[in-house]
Amino acid sequence: MKKKFFVTTPVYYVNAKPHIGHAYTSVAADVLARFHKLQGDEVFFLMGTDEHGLKIQKKAEESGKDPQQFVDEISAGFKQLWDKLDIKYDNFIRTTDPKHKRAVQKVLQILFDKGAIYKGEYEGLYCVGCEQFKNEGDLVNGRCPDHDTDCEIVKEESYLLKMNELQEELVQKIEKDEFCIRPEKYKKEILSFLKGEKLKDVSISRKNVKWGIPLPFDAEHTTYVWFDAFLSYLTGLGWNGDILRLSLRKSLRKNKGLALEKLEFWPADVQLIGKDILRVHTTIWPIVLMQLGIEFPKLLFTHGHLLSGGRKMSKTIGNVIGIDEMLEKFGTDGTRYLLMSAGTFGEDVDVTMERLTEKYNADLANGIGNLVSRVIRLAQNFQFSIFNFQSIYNDSIFKNIEKFEFEKAMGYIWKIIRENDKFVEENKPWELQKNDEKKFQEVMQKLVSDLYLISDILMPFMPETSKKIKKALETKEATVLFPRIK
């Protein structure tokens, strides 16, 4: 029986163009989706963009654009990047989609009716100059850095989501891995946070923000962006906000043998996120689900950040590595490879353009690229049909990918590549060709089969390269997969 596999990336906030971090998460999700498709699973891979909120409203104003026009452009930019990275998603949900908005309003009404959302006050540090609330972290010595003014504590009417009443249950679910958070260290971190303090009820509406989904029960307020954004994980499957629809279908399908409907992909098998959004994904998101009586995602996998020169990438420091720059220099598959093999997925990974270039030359140009060149050249005097090959999907690589150890999976492939280089060296097929035809055939058989195997395993990571290797085996035409840089 086919297994279903539903993977999501975060819905990216479109206040600015996509960067390398977005690419990192997305490529990983694409690798998982492709891998499971190859296993024969029924896969749904959801991506999207989060498009409301004050920040976007302001950015749009600054650039003299209508907010809708602004988000249309940025969102399109995200899609373009996914095309360039050869990311094949099944749906791309935008939170400005009318269907999504209607579903969000439906959910808000449900929660308001059952009392999970109530009218209260939001208290925060307010900067008069900015006309908005600030976080303590934004302030420098308690003052607004933009206006150099003291911020005052201001109360504003707001709607709040009850958090605390479900906190204990949430802790238990996380502990029992019913809501599984990986790697383990993030589970620990979030548990110590949840056990350490009482969750305050979260304000889920804004009065001073125009660019958002109006509350159905109070048109003066718009919905807080995160609340809106989270629900896209469900509306991305076509959910309309109707709770019953989530549970009814399943039993119907079982009884009548109906095909899997999109919505039945829920709960997500994996939600991939970066560590920056761990906390919201382990507080507001699960609480909303609990309040609605909807199942948790099975696994929330949190990866680390890409650092540059040991530091956070920042425009001020000037150590930002652009994703466009990478794509231009290393190509689509080169970029995919470098992102996935850069370091332990889950940990922070330090990269610099110099090291990436070194790795590109070592692993791609000199490694896989060169091996393909030499084997194809030798194979021009060897008769074979690639249709005779059967690929044995390696068990340890299988496990590596299931455990999100992408870098280990790649390491394993590169071990095979090195072994083959060594094998060529030891057997000198160019000599055998002249004086030992039988041995030559044997040696080439092994080389060609291994190359076929490599191309197969490489498929989820480097789909284009995988195809190119197979094509080269077919046509025996020499190809340069990855030209050396410099």
Contact between 122 and RNA per CB under 7 A: yes
Contact between 47 and RNA per CB under 7 A: no
Work out the angle at residue 50's Cα, subtended by the Cα atoms of residues 48 and 56, and round it to the nearest 5 degrees: 145
Q: Residue type for 280, please? A: V
Cβ proximity to RNA, 105 vs 223, nearer residue:
223
Q: Are 409 and 400 in contact (CB under 8 A)?
A: yes
Distance in angstroms (rounded) separating the CA atoms of residues 421 and 419:
5
Least distance CB 248 / RNA (angstroms): 31
Contact between 193 and RNA per CB under 7 A: yes
Least distance CB 88 / RNA (angstroms): 22
Whether 130 sits among the annotated catalytic residues: the reply is yes
Cβ proximity to RNA, 382 vs 398, nearer residue:
382
Q: Are 173 and 286 in contact (CB under 8 A)?
A: yes
Whether 180 sits among the annotated catalytic residues: the reply is no
Contact between 188 and RNA per CB under 7 A: yes
Distance in angstroms (rounded) separating the CA atoms of residues 411 and 401:
12
Selected binder of RNA within 5, 7, 15, 389 (CB under 7 A): 15
Active-site residue (options: 4, 19, 79, 275) = 19
CB atoms within 10 A of CB 477: 10
State which of positions 210-239 bind RNA (CB under 7 A): 224-226, 229
CB atoms within 10 A of CB 280: 15
Contact between 197 and RNA per CB under 7 A: yes
Cβ proximity to RNA, 217 vs 412, nearer residue:
412
- What is 44-93 written as a DSSP string? EEEEEEE--SHHHHHHHHHTT--HHHHHHHHHHHHHHHHHHTT---SEEE
Q: Residue type for 274, please? A: G
Q: Residue type for 30, please? A: D
Token pair, residue 117, equals: 């959302």
State which of positions 387-446 bind RNA (CB under 7 A): 411, 418, 421-422, 424-426, 428, 430
Cβ proximity to RNA, 246 vs 338, nearer residue:
338
Whether 19 sits among the annotated catalytic residues: the reply is yes
Distance in angstroms (rounded) separating the CA atoms of residues 9 and 82:
12
State which of positions 254-273 bind RNA (CB under 7 A): none
Active-site residue (options: 2, 185, 210, 312) = 312
Based on its alpha-carbon atoms, the radius of gyration of the chain, rounded to whole angstroms, reads 26
Number of residues that bind RNA (CB under 7 A): 82
Selected binder of RNA within 40, 64, 98, 137 (CB under 7 A): 137
Whether 303 sits among the annotated catalytic residues: the reply is no
Whether 312 sits among the annotated catalytic residues: the reply is yes
Cβ proximity to RNA, 133 vs 265, nearer residue:
133
Least distance CB 194 / RNA (angstroms): 9
Which region, judged by CB under 7 A, interacts with RNA, from 29-37, 145-153, 364-372, 454-462? 364-372
**Bond prior to 297 in cis (omega within 30° of 0):** no
Contact between 9 and RNA per CB under 7 A: no
Contact between 13 and RNA per CB under 7 A: yes
CB atoms within 10 A of CB 98: 7
Which helix (H) or strand (E) is 180 found in, with range? strand 180-182
Selected binder of RNA within 155, 210, 377, 399 (CB under 7 A): 377
State which of positions 79-108 bind RNA (CB under 7 A): none
Selected binder of RNA within 121, 152, 276, 328 (CB under 7 A): 276
State which of positions 299-328 bind RNA (CB under 7 A): 310-312
Nearest to 367 by CA among 312, 414, 325, 408: 414
Distance in angstroms (rounded) separating the CA atoms of residues 485 and 360:
8
Long-range contacts of 292-296 (CB under 8 A, 24+ apart): 292/107, 292/110, 292/111, 292/243, 293/243, 294/234, 294/243, 294/246, 294/266, 295/266, 295/267, 296/173, 296/178, 296/179, 296/267
Selected binder of RNA within 283, 302, 400, 466 (CB under 7 A): 283
Cβ proximity to RNA, 354 vs 395, nearer residue:
354
Contact between 54 and RNA per CB under 7 A: yes
Active-site residue (options: 147, 155, 188, 428) = 147
**The residue count for the chain:** 486
Which region, judged by CB under 7 A, interacts with RNA, from 65-73, 261-269, 294-302, 369-377? 369-377
Q: Are 406 and 421 in contact (CB under 8 A)?
A: no
Which region, judged by CB under 7 A, interacts with RNA, from 171-179, 257-265, 274-282, 395-403? 274-282
State which of positions 436-475 bind RNA (CB under 7 A): none
Active-site residue (options: 36, 52, 100, 127) = 127
Which region, judged by CB under 7 A, interacts with RNA, from 32-40, 129-137, 142-150, 436-444? 129-137
Whether 281 sits among the annotated catalytic residues: the reply is no
Active centre residues (catalytic): 19, 22, 127, 130, 144, 147, 312, 315
